[in-house]
Amino acid sequence: MKDVDPISEQDSVTTDDSIDALHARSVSGLYATLGGIPGLELADEAGEVDLDAAGPSLIPALAGEELRLDVDGRYPQMTASGTIPISPVQRLHWIANVHATGPHTWSGGIWYKDPIVTPFGYTTVDIKVSSTPVPAIRKAKVVFNGPGLRPRVRIFRFRSQYFHKVEFEYDSESAITPLTTVATCAHPNHPATLPCENVSIRKVFQRAGFDASVTPASSTLTSPPGTTWSDMEMHDAMIVYWSKFANTAQWAFWVLFADQHDFGHGLGGIMFDDIGPNHRQGTSIFYNSFISDVPPGDPNPAAYTARNRFWTAVHEMGHAFNLAHSWQKSLGAPYGTPWIPLTDEPEARSFMNYPYGVAGGDTAFFADFEYRFSDVELLFMRHAPARFVRMGDAAWFDHHGFEQARVHPEAPLSLDLRVNRTRAAFEFLEPVVVELKLKNESKAPHIVDENILTTLDGITIALKRQGSPARQYVPFAQYCMQASPRVLQPGEAIYGSVYITAGLNGIDVAEPGRYVLQAALHTPTGDIVSRPLLLRIAPPRGYEEEVIAQDFFSDEVSRVLAFDGSRVLNDANKTLRDVVERLGELRVAKHARVPLGLAIAKRRKVLTVAPGTERTMRPAAAVGGSIKLEAAQPDRAASELKNALLTNADVAAESLGHVDYKYYVDELTRLLENEGESEEAAAAQDTMYQILAARNVLPSVLDEIAQRRQELTSTAKPSKKSKGKGI
Amino acid sequence: MALLHIALQEGFTGEPVAIAVDGQEIYRKDQVRTRTQIGHADSVETTHDAGPARIEIRARGTSSTLTPTIAGDLYLAVSISADGRIDHRASSQPFRYM
């Protein structure tokens, strides 16, 4: 046996020669379909798998599907799992227990699917893997079967011998030398059958199924002598020192090797990051703690300490993968719910148990310990939905609105989601209007549908409140417009606006807090994805705002705001009037005045039905219904709109957004012009010109406004108000 | 005098806890919650003469009384089981967490 100095490993980002032979001559690992073009992945290029024609799919192929096959290699769990895109923002996750049915074939029942309500009726899988020893050309054919369903066939290509990637960064206090490798037989108390080798932390996680790498950039922290660490200080240090820190979910986390926690000698390490919205991104190991204590008479004190330090580091890192202690597996509410029903494993020889907690203490533990996680833990790490395992993740599909987007490799267009303000901060109650910009980034003209930013045809907008699941924005109205091809010259762009606060999904962006919005344009050659837009909704500033919010955040009010007014949704109009009268100084009042004004700016058609007692729905005509024209109230409409748009016009342009602001001022202008107030109409255009010019709106838009202003000025007659004043 | 260390460990979910030794209350907190990643909620220490002691722990509307004989430093782990029982475990060694 070679005695190894168990000091620091020289780990770096994965290189071929350092990869542990996890699945040598095995087929286990990650597979993926080509994705993108439904049906294409059914082609049998290898010619060795007998393909059936796939039946009509319950689940459309939106992008690549994944398969994780776990049937051989290190610690096989005899499990297959996979993900299937079911919408641009969501994946179905399935898991099956499988058994071998022949050479390179496995079958078994699907026992887990998430989300559970997805109409996915397949109950079994039959898997066949090509026998080639060359991973690069290895394929797997999966046939999904279910009662009454035609088989669903998918062909996957081998991608990796690992199930997921993960990256660690080791930082340490200046007096600490991190120990990240241990010699398994350095201490005489070990299983007789344990291979004697140097095992690194990285190798432990590779064997657990992860393509683990260690960030080359590590930092040394210098802290004042005699001081200890609080959780808050470690969290702050993580933000400063971890080169990959982000308030987001990612397969990466930070490991701090430190002297001692505030808790004292009795705390060997902690996954300290249960602070803020993105947990499990940081762990610490404390060398000035009991893990460095050696029992009297131990035959190899140095090896005993080294093993304890190594073991503790992996234990804490295991918590970052959301692994509970072995005796806590069944723990339910209020701490959380096990991802599947689990039983405790108080005697497990796992990194997640306390060695001194088992019968016989740590002598008994290490006599049987094989430097591994338990099968239950490996099943979770390899096959549970990623959001349960991935560091920083929270609830279903947390954060990654377009995780599976087929991002266009050389997109000629860019899509931008933005707000017309320097800081994307909104008052409580203020409706959120975002602007979409589609720009030709190429050096050649590009044809787009001119209406695409109105119809949102082929555009998905995902939005997510911090700490909540992501949602897909679904507008109240779906416009079906004839495509209107338009040539976008290089550098040219088209613009649109979206009232994002509410839609058919309900009210999405209203509660105080931080939100992330992202848009994707789906094209046949790939998705064009916007950068995430981060915005914040401020909390209410008083009791009155809270009270009005109870009526304001309703489906009816949201529809009136989305459709710029209503003549029939009287409760909603009453609420908007209430907003104007009680919260007139707030931005929401401007949004409220616009539909109140536009609804009465012109004559409007209204369906009227006499009140009746019929319980059966009948055609309106059959119960005396008719469409009637209701008169306009131009003076009241103009008053509302002028208050909304021309008083504090800069605030109006910012809050309503430039695109909508121009549309509304043009409507006001038309109203005034029709009423013979051309001079006032010209003044409205002039105000808009000044405001938008100051806000650096495109010259072409300003030219258009100037031209309209000029037309109105040249046709202006003395207004009713100026008559008799000799103007 | 010996050290008497009482550690509140697993199963505390934010409830009030009170501990009395020989009729004298030494600990009371309104919200005690286990940090599951280390299996520890809170702890309290006092000293006690060698000889019999009476330790009463009240939590979740129930109580448990222990009557150990103090002969040296005593470490007492208190947990609440899934069915709401107050469990305890005594040791002559300090508890360790990670």
* Residue pLDDT, tens place only, A630-687: 999 999 999 999 999 999 999 999 999 999 999 999 999 999 999 999 999 999 999 9
Cα–Cα nearest to A395, from A470, A473, A340:
A470
Q: For the whole model, what pTM was predicted?
A: 0.61
B35 within a domain of the structure (yes/no) = yes
Q: pLDDT (tens digit, 9 = 90+) per residue, B19-65?
A: 999 999 999 999 999 998 899 999 999 999 999 999 999 998 899 99
Looking at the predicted structure, is the pLDDT value of residue B18 above 90? yes
Q: What pLDDT does residue A24 have?
A: 55
Query: For the purposes of burial, counting CB atoms within 10 Å of the CB of B93, is it exposed (0-12), middle (13-18) or buried (19 or more)?
Result: exposed
Question: What's the rounded Cα separation, in Å, for the pair A722 and A727?
Answer: 7
Does any domain span residue B97? no
Nearest of A356, A357, A351 to residue A376 by alpha carbon: A351
Nearest by CB to A274, which of B37, B96, B97?
B37
Whether B98 and A328 lie within 8 Å, measured CB to CB: no
Q: Do B97 and A315 touch (CB under 8 A)?
A: no
Q: What is the 3-state secondary structure (H, E, C) of A419-430?
A: CCCCCCEECCCC
Which residue range forms the structural domain that includes residue B84? 2-91
In the sheet with B42-48, reading across from the earlier edge strand, the strands are B42-48, B2-8, B74-80, B86-91
A163 Cα to chain B: minimum distance (Å):
25
Q: Distance (Å) from the C-alpha of residue B37 to the closest C-alpha of chain A? A: 7
Contact B36 A267 (CB under 8 A): no
Neighbour tally for A281: CB within 10 Å: 28
Report yes or no: B60 at the A interface, CB cutoff 8 Å: no
Interface ipTM: 0.88
What angle is formed at CA B77 by the lines to CA A262 and CA A296, rounded to 5 degrees?
Answer: 75
The pLDDT value recorded for residue A518 is 86
Residue B86 belongs to a domain: yes
- For an interface test with B, the pick among A230, A231, A267 (most B C-beta atoms closer than 10 Å) comes out as A267
CA distance B24 to B2: 17
- The answer to whether the CB atoms of A354 and B96 lie below 8 A apart is yes
- Residue A343 pLDDT: 79
B87 part of a folded domain:
yes
Judge: A266–B37 Cβ closer than 8 Å, yes or no. Answer: no
Peptide bond into A115 cis (omega under 30): yes
User: Is B98 part of any domain?
Assistant: no
With respect to residue B96, please indicate whether it lies within any of the assigned structural domains: no
Chain segment A104-145, per-residue pLDDT in tens: 999 999 998 887 666 788 999 999 999 888 898 999 999 999
Q: Cβ–Cβ of B38/A270 closer than 8 Å? A: yes
Between CA A529 and CA A413 the distance in angstroms is 10
Q: Which amino acid is at A512?
A: P
CATH number at residue B40: 2.60.40.2630
Rg over CA atoms, chain B: 13
Residue B64 lies in a domain: yes
- Per CB-CB distance under 8 Å, the chain B contacts of A267 are 38, 96-98
Distance CA A47, CA A288 (A): 61
Are A335 and B13 a contacting pair at CB < 8 A? yes
- Residues in chain A with pLDDT values less than 70: 1-25, 34-63, 87-89, 116-118, 276-277, 332-340, 394-410, 467, 469, 524-526, 612-615, 717-727
| Separation of alpha carbons A108 and A91, rounded Å | 21
Query: In this structure, what token pair is assigned to residue A627?
Result: 């469409």
Amino acid at A457: D
> How far is it, in rounded angstroms, from Cα A259 to Cα A341?
38
Q: Residue B59 falls within a domain, yes or no?
A: yes
**Average pLDDT, rounded, for chain A:** 85
Minimum CA–CA partner of B34 in chain A: A335
What is the C-alpha separation between A267 and B38, in angstroms, rounded? 8
Quote the number of domains for chain B: 1
